[in-house]
Amino acid sequence: MISGVGVAFARRRRTNVEFLNERSQRLLVPFTVGLILVVPLCVYFERLHLGTFSGSFVAFYPSVFTTGFYPSGNLSWHHFWFIAYLYIYCVLGLKIFLWFESTHGQTCLDRLAAYFQGYRIYSFIGLLFLIELPLRAFFPGFRDLIHDWASFSHRFVMFLVGYVLANRELILDEITKMRFASLAGAVAFTALYFTIFYSYDRPPLTLEDPDLLFKYPLSCLVTMGLAWCCLMTCLGFAGRYLRFTNRPLVYLNEAVYPLFILHLTTIAMLGYWITPLRWSVSAKYFAITSLTIVICLGIYHVAIRPFNRMRWLFGVKAKSRPEASLSRLLNQAPEQS
C-alpha cells in the first residue's frame, strides 16, 4: 500500500517511459545486487547455523549457482520477492494508472472518495475475502510467484488502494477519523485468530480437519480482516500524528530502502553468533533487533549515503551536486563583504 502511494507521487512528475525507466533503476538494480551479493550471504549463515555447511563464504558462494533453488538448493531471492512483485505491479498497473488519470478515472476517484466514508472503509475486507477464498486453498503462499497467486492478487489490490489514497486525501482523512475503530477491529481479529486457528499443541488447518468447511472461509475472513484493520490502524494514527516532516524523517525515509535490503542478512549473521549464547530469549531478541538497526543504519550512513554509485545500487535517488550552491555562495560573498 505504501508502495502504491509512492508510485502515485512518481507518476505526477514523469511520462510513462520515464516512469518505467525510473522504476527499473530503483527496483531491478537493487534486486540484482540482492540476488548476487546480499541473499547468498544470508543463506550462507543459515547453512552454518543448521550445520549443513562449514567453511568460508568464498567456498560457499559457487554453490549458490550449482545446487538449485532454495530450500533444497542455495539459490533464493528471500525477502527480495517484494521487489520483484512490486516491479510486476508497476508494469501491470500502468494501464490502470493511465485510466485513473483520465477524465473518467478522476470522476471514479471522486466517487470512491465520497463512498468510503465512516465504516464503509471496511468494505474492502469483503473484496479481499472474495480473492482469498477461492485462491488460498490452492496457493498457500510460497513466495515464488508461480505458487503464490492468492497473496499476489490481494497485495496487488493493496498496491492500487495506496495509489487511490495518494490521489484522494479525503479518504485518508476518513481513515484518520476511524483509527480507534480500526484498532478495535485489529485487536478483535487478532483474538479470533489465536483463539480459533493457532495453538502450540494443535496443527494448522488441514484437509483432514472435520470442520474444514466452516473453518476455511472463517480463516480467510479473519486473515483479511486482520490485515486490513492493521493497515487502517497504522494509516489512521499516522494521519493524525505524522502529518509533518523534519530532518530525521527525511533521513529515515531515504534510509528505509537500504535497511530493507540489508536487514535479513544482518539478522541471520547476528543470529548465528548470538543464538548459542547463554542469554535469555528476551535478551537475545533485544540484542539481535537493536544491533540489526544500528548496523544497517551504520552501513547506510557510511558506505551508501555519501556515494552516488552506491545509492544507485541500493535504489536511493542520487544526491544533487553541491557545486551550484557553492558557486552561488561564492558569487554572493563579495556583495556581502
Secondary structure class of 335 (helix, strand, coil): helix
Query: Residues with Cβ < 8 Å from 141, sequence gap 6 or more?
Result: 148, 150, 151
pLDDT at 243: 85
Q: Is 68 left (phi over 0), alpha (psi -120 to 50) or beta?
A: left
> What are the domain boundaries of the chain?
256-337
In this prediction the pTM is: 0.85
- Per-residue CA distances from 198 to 170, 203, 205, 219, 271 (Å): 38, 8, 9, 11, 26
- Per-residue CA distances from 190 to 132, 175, 212, 229 (Å): 18, 20, 20, 10
- Per-residue CA distances from 146 to 29, 70, 138, 218, 254 (Å): 22, 15, 11, 25, 32
DSSP 316: P
Long-range pairs for 87-92: beta carbons < 8 A, 24 or more residues apart: 87/23, 87/24, 87/27, 87/28, 87/31, 88/145, 89/3, 89/4, 89/155, 89/156, 89/159, 90/7, 90/19, 90/20, 90/23, 90/27, 91/20, 92/156
pLDDT at 208: 61
How does pLDDT run along the chain (337 residues), one tens digit per residue?
989 988 998 888 888 899 999 999 999 999 999 999 999 999 999 999 999 999 999 999 999 999 999 988 999 999 999 999 999 999 999 999 999 999 999 999 999 999 888 899 999 999 999 999 999 888 887 788 888 999 999 999 999 999 998 898 889 899 999 999 999 999 999 999 888 877 655 555 665 666 667 788 888 999 999 999 999 999 999 999 988 889 998 999 899 999 999 999 999 999 999 999 999 999 999 999 999 999 999 999 999 999 999 999 999 998 876 444 444 443 444 444 3
pLDDT at 205: 60
User: Helices (H), strands (E): how many in the chain?
Assistant: 17, 0
Write out the H or E segment, with its range, that includes residue 18.
helix 16-23
Secondary structure class of 69 (helix, strand, coil): strand
User: Cβ distance 175 to 232 under 8 Å?
Assistant: yes
Cα–Cα distance for residue pair 304/312, rounded to 1 Å: 9
Handedness of CA 85, 17, 22, 42 (dihedral sign): positive
Cα–Cα distance for residue pair 316/99, rounded to 1 Å: 29
pLDDT at 328: 45
